[in-house]
Structure 1
Amino acid sequence: MSKIRITKQFSFETGHALYGYDGKCRNVHGHSYKLRVTVIGEPIADASNVKFGMVIDFTDLKKIVLEEVVDVFDHATVFNKNTPHIELAKELQDRGHHVILVDYQPTSENMVIDFAEKIKHRLPKGLELYSLRLQETDSSYAEWYQSDNL
C-alpha cells in the first residue's frame, strides 16, 4: 500500500525573550505562530474500521497537537529557565500570567525540536511524524524533518 502524508495547521499566540541575544528579540515580545504538522503512514485498509481509508483522522491529530503544544503554549510567555529571566518569570507567575520555563533558548528552531518530541510519542502505532514547520512571522519559519534526525 502507498504511504500518504497528512498535514494539519494550527495557530497560537506566544510570547518569549531571548536572553543574551544581541538584537531586538532580547526584549519580551510575541508572535502569532503557525504550526504545520505532517504525519506519514498507510491508509487503514480494514473496511470494517470506521476510519477506513484514513492515515489518521484529522480530529485525532488535532487532539494530540492541541494537548501537547497549542493548549500549553497559547497565550503563554516562554523563558529559558537557566537565565536571569527566571526572576521576570516568577514575577509574571505571581501576577497570574501563564509562563513556561524551558531548558533551551526559546527560538523557533528549539521550539520546533521540542514540539517534535512531544508529538512523536503520542502518535498511533504505524504512524510517523514526517515534518513540522513553525512559522514565526509571515516570512520566517523553522522546519524539522524526521529524515534529518535519524
Structure 2
Amino acid sequence: MVFLTRRVTFSAAHRLWSNDLSDEENYAIYDKCANPNGHGHNYTLEVTVQGQPDPKTGMIINLTDLKRIVNEQVVDWVDHKHLNHDVPWLEGVIPTTEMLVIKFWERLESAFPAHMLYEVTLHETENNVATYRGPACE
C-alpha cells in the first residue's frame, strides 16, 4: 500500500463557543478563543490517500486531481472565511480543530473512490494538530 499526501494552507477566522454552556463556562474553557469577534489562524491541511500505483501511470491518483478535489471540497469554502458565519456546512459546529478535521473528512470522502481517503490532518498552529481516519477507525 502506498500513501500519498497533499498539503495545502489556508487562512480562516473562528470563534470557539458552545450554546450549551454558560458565558462563564465558555470563557473558562475557551479563554481567548471565545473572543466575540473571533480570531484567525494560518492552517495547514494534509489529505492522505492510499492505494496501489496503476502499472500504466505509476500513480495512485493524478496529483492534479488530488489538488482539485481538496480545493473544491474544502479550501475554496474556508480560505479567508469566518468559519462560524461563512461556511454553510459548518453551521452549528463548534470549529475546534477536532471538529474541523471530521467535517473536512466528510466533505472529502465522497469525492474519492471508495476507501481511497486514508487520513485528514489539520494543523491549527505549529503546536496544535488533529488527525482523523474516518468513522471506521472510531
User: Shorter-chain TM-score: what band?
Assistant: 0.7 to 0.9
Q: Deviation per CA, 1:25-60, whole angstroms, max 9, x where unpaired?
A: 001000000001100011112x3xxxx110011111
Instruction: Compare CA radii of gyration and give the structure with the larger one.
Output: 1
Please tell me the residue identity of whatever aligns with 1:74.
D
Aligned to 1:31: 41
Question: Residues of 2 paired with 1:131 and 1:115: CA distance?
Answer: 10
Partner in structure 2 of residue 63 of structure 1: 68
- Aligned pairs for 1:25-104 (under 5 A) are 25-27=33-35, 28-45=38-55, 47=56, 52-79=57-84, 89=85, 99-101=86-88, 102-104=91-93
For residues 57-94 of structure 1, the C-alpha deviation after alignment (integer angstroms, 9 at most, x for no partner) is: 11110000000111110000011xxxxxxxxx5xxxxx
In the TM superposition, structure 1's runs of 4+ consecutive aligned residues that sit over 3 Å from their partners are none
1:128 shift after superposition: 1.4
Q: Residues 75-130 of structure 1: CA distance to partner in whole angstroms, max 9, x if unpaired?
A: 00011xxxxxxxxx5xxxxxxxxx224231111100100000111100135x5111
Q: Which has the higher helix share?
A: 2
Give the AA of the match of 1:132: V
Equivalent in the alignment of 2:102: 113
**Counterpart of 1:137 in 2: which secondary structure?**
coil
SS, match of residue 87 in structure 2: strand
Distance 1:37 1:100 in 2: 20
Identity rate, percent: 37
> Aligned partners of 1:37, 1:58: CA distance in 2, in Å?
12
One-letter code aligned to 2:15? A
C-alpha distance in structure 2 between counterparts of 1:54 and 1:111, whole Å = 29
Residue identity opposite 1:53 in structure 2? G
TM-score (norm 1): 0.77
Q: What TM-score comes out, normalization by structure 2 length?
A: 0.83
Gaps of 5+ in 1: 80-88, 90-98
For 1:141, the aligned partner's letter is V
